[in-house]
Every structure is written in C-alpha cells, then in structure tokens.
Structure 1
Amino acid sequence: MADGPGGPAVTSHGSGSGPEAGGPAMSSRGGHAAPPQDGQGPDRDDRGRDVLEWLLLALAALATAGVYPRLPDQMVIHWNAAGQPDGWAPRAFAAWFGWATAAGTYLLLKVLPSIDPRRANYPRFAGAYRLVRQITVLFLLGVHAVVLMTGLGIPVAVDRVIGLGVGLMLIIMGNVMGQVRPNFFFGIRTPWTLSSEAVWRKTHRAGGWLFILAGLAIATTAFLPPSWTVPVILASVIGVTMGTTVYSYLLWRRLNGADMG
C-alpha cells in the first residue's frame, strides 16, 4: 500500500507528503528534536496559537448579538436529508446553541490532551491536532451561520452546504492523519492500533487515504440530487470504519504472527 497521497500535508514543523507526513521534528540547530518528556504539558507547542479560534468565536458572538433582534420567535434548527426543515426551537435557544456548541467543542479539545494517559505524545502531532481543532470549530460555526441565515430569511441550500463542509473536513483530516501518534481520544482507535505503535502508524497512513476518499465522495453530494446524500454518507462512514478496523487487525496479525503460534 502506498504511504500517502501526493498533496502536501500541513504540519507545525514544515511540509510533508500526505497522511504519512509528520516524522520527528528537526530542531533549529539541526538533528532531531528531543522527544517530549513525561509530565510536559501537551500544549507546550500550542500556547498562544489559539488566536484563530478566539477570533472566530468572538466574531460569531458579535454577529449573533447583532442579528438577534431581527430573528423570528421560532427558528429552524434541523433539516432532513433533502434539506427540508423538520425541527424548530425558540429564538433564545436556536440563536445561541450553535455558538455554544462550537465554544464547548473548542474547550473540550483543549482539555482532552491534558487528561490523556498518553499526553506526552501530543507534542509529536501538535500541528495536526491544532488544525483539526480549528476546522472543527470553523465547521460548527458554519452550521451556526446557516441557522442564523435561515432565520433571517436568506435562502440556503442546507443539504449542499453541509455535504460540502463535511467532505472538506474529512479531506483535511485525512491529509494529516498519518501524523497522529498513539493516544486515547483522537484518531483510529482499535484494540490493535492501541496495542502496537507500528500498527497505529501504518493504519493511520492507510486510513488517511480512506478519509480523503470518503471526503471527496461526501463533498460530491453537494452537486447530486438530495436522494444521494444519505446513501453516500452511510457508505462512506461504513467504508472508513470497516476498512480501518479490518486493516488494523490483519496488520496486527501479520506483525505478531510468530507470537500467535
């Protein structure tokens, strides 16, 4: 299996090539950087780099407060697969729930590394983790914007916007998946990836491709009839889940064949 797609991967220490990018960082004096020590904060390379999330959340809060008086008493907060409204909520809830979800997700993703027993590994993929956190917050704020726009009477093709957003998220995640190192909260966590760093590394390299392919498939639903949306999303989710699970198991068996007798 190829080691990664050809697109450049975003890292915190330079450039790479696809899901497998993100090897040991190089220090400014040359050579490999010293491995992180146990007990070091997982965000040691991340401090002061949350400006984008803070700015997005602040702008979204200001925009929400600005349009709040013009929103209707009842607002659409849910749509079916065809993009038709099928859920409503009072203005006070609908106008702020999306923003609160984005802010809460940001805080959760900031806290999780600190309580992970494998927190010492996070500095090894700080750039990838930060990027995924940023695009997650951005996506949730995008959904929040759709709710506000709908409340203001601005036409939005919800099914197309959401499909394109989810697809782009998966493509970006797939491109950095190979940089993720063993942890208990983020990545492809199966019994076999968690028991072997070699299996973890190889599964995430292969899984990066599957994430990208799934993202491309889901993104195309933005340009297909609504009846395609659910089948494509289900097929993509099942394909990624089954593919990475089976691959990690087979790889673990191959690497541990001698021990299994």
Structure 2
Amino acid sequence: MIRNISCLFILVVMLAISAYAYNIIPDSIAMQYSMDGIGYQFLNKNIAVLYYPAIYAVVILITLFFHKKSPKQFEIKNSTNAIKEVIIAAGILMLAFHYCRLVNYENSGSNLAIISYSLALFIMIIGHSMKNIGPNFMVGYRLPWTLADADNWRSTHKLANNVNLLLGGTLIIATAIHPSVNAVIIFLVFSVLIPSAYSFYLFHTNSSGKMR
C-alpha cells in the first residue's frame, strides 16, 4: 500500500511542478544539456510540462501490466514489491529531471547536484529492492548464470543489495563534497558491473568444481 501511494505521490508532485512552472517558463524548453551546460532538443512548453509525468504514468502502467501477465513460473511473491520499488526509484529520477527542466533550468550547477542526489537514491532503492527478490520476469540481474541457478541468483542479489546501498551512500557524500558527472557515471557502472562480475565468478567457480 505504501509503495502504491509513493508512486501516486511522485506523479502528483510532477503535475504540481508542471502547474507551477507553466506560466513562468519560456515558450520552449531544452530537454537535454551538453557537458558544457548548453541546452538542446527544445520542446514547446505545452509538451514539456507533461513530458516526464506522461512517461512516468506509462512506465507504471506498462510495468504493472507485464508483471501481471508474466509467466506462471515467474510469479514470485517478493517480485511484486521489488518491481514497485523500481518504479519508485525511476519516479524519483524523473522527478529530479522534471524539476531541473522546468523550475531550475537556469542553474546548471545546482542541477548537477540534484540529479546526482536523485541517482544516488535511485541506486540505493534499487539495491534495497534486490534484498529478498526471487527470480522473476521483470527486474533484477537477469543474467544467463543467475537464471540458470537459484543459488547464483540469490547470492548475486544479496551482494547487489549491499553494493548498491554502499555505492548510493558514497555517491551522496561525494556529491555533497563536489558534484561530478564522471562520478555519477562511475558509480552507475559499478552498480551494474560488480554484481554481474560476481555472478559470472560464481558460475565459473561452480562449473570448474563440477568438472573435477
């Protein structure tokens, strides 16, 4: 119930930002920015104010639809809460982008910090969602080795829980000291690479043991 309310709350906040910003933003808004802070890919404000709320609403509907229609063998109880937490994480990230594009578009320096903090929360929430999740049709480290071995899946996601919580917390501290695009990219890559590499290591170790 709390997760459902959180998803709805994020969407409502997005729409509230849209309503607030509509009369104060220029007729066209940059939706993308270069590394130098130069805006491009401009949208008319009538579209821009609904851009992220519409995407988030579609993400919620499509994700829940496919989860409900997932094959019977993947109907794991723990996956439902995990999928909702992933939706919440995505919503926080979209909310940050929505705010930066419509309200804080003239301050690229603080925008980097806002996006970095939201990405840190994204990584941590994703990590938390991995804690007790079983094999499912939608989320997780769905690698050949995790899907083929329940023990590999369990160990990989247990590690992912700890690694992503640590990476997200560290990124918050790093952002408070000095926001950096490079730091964001590195932390995101590590959040994917470390559990994936560990999963392959377990697979390789088990395969070598069986051959002896």
TM bucket normalised to smaller: 0.7 to 0.9
Q: Which residue identity does 1:179 align to in structure 2?
A: N
Q: TM-score of the superposition, structure 1-length normalised?
A: 0.69
Query: Equivalent residue of 1:69, what SS?
Result: coil
Q: Which residue of the partner structure matches residue 157 of structure 2?
A: 204
Select between 238-247 and 197-206 the one with higher mean Cα deviation.
Answer: 238-247
Equivalent pair of 2:127/2:164 in contact (CA under 8 Å): yes
Distance 1:149 1:99, change over 3 A: same
Percent identical: 20
Are 1:252 and 2:207 matched, yes or no?
no
For the residues of structure 2 that align with 1:124 and 1:213, how far apart are their CA atoms? 22
Kindly provide the CA deviation profile for residues 186-244 of structure 1, in whole angstroms up to 9, marking residues without a partner as x.
01111000111111000101122221233234334423445x422x2333233333322
Distance 1:49 1:162, change over 3 A: closer
Q: Which residue of the partner structure matches residue 44 of structure 2?
A: 90
Kindly provide the CA deviation profile for residues 111-162 of structure 1, in whole angstroms up to 9, marking residues without a partner as x.
22123324411x22433332232232233123212222036x6887110000
Query: Equivalent residue of 1:157, what SS?
Result: helix
Q: How many aligned residue pairs are there?
A: 210
Q: Which residue of the partner structure matches residue 181 of structure 2?
A: 229
Higher helix share: 2
Q: TM-score of the superposition, structure 2-length normalised?
A: 0.83
Greater relative CO, 1 or 2 (CA 8 Å, sep 6+) = 1
Equivalent pair of 1:178/1:208 in contact (CA under 8 Å): yes
Post-superposition shift, 1:164?
A: 0.7
For the residues of structure 1 that align with 2:9 and 2:193, how far apart are their CA atoms? 38
Ranges in structure 2 where 5+ consecutive residues have no aligned partner? none
Distance 1:193 1:218, change over 3 A: same
For the residues of structure 2 that align with 1:120 and 1:59, how far apart are their CA atoms? 32
Distance 1:242 1:61, change over 3 A: closer
For the residues of structure 1 that align with 2:80 and 2:116, how far apart are their CA atoms? 28
Larger Rg: 1
Post-superposition shift, 1:59?
A: 4.4
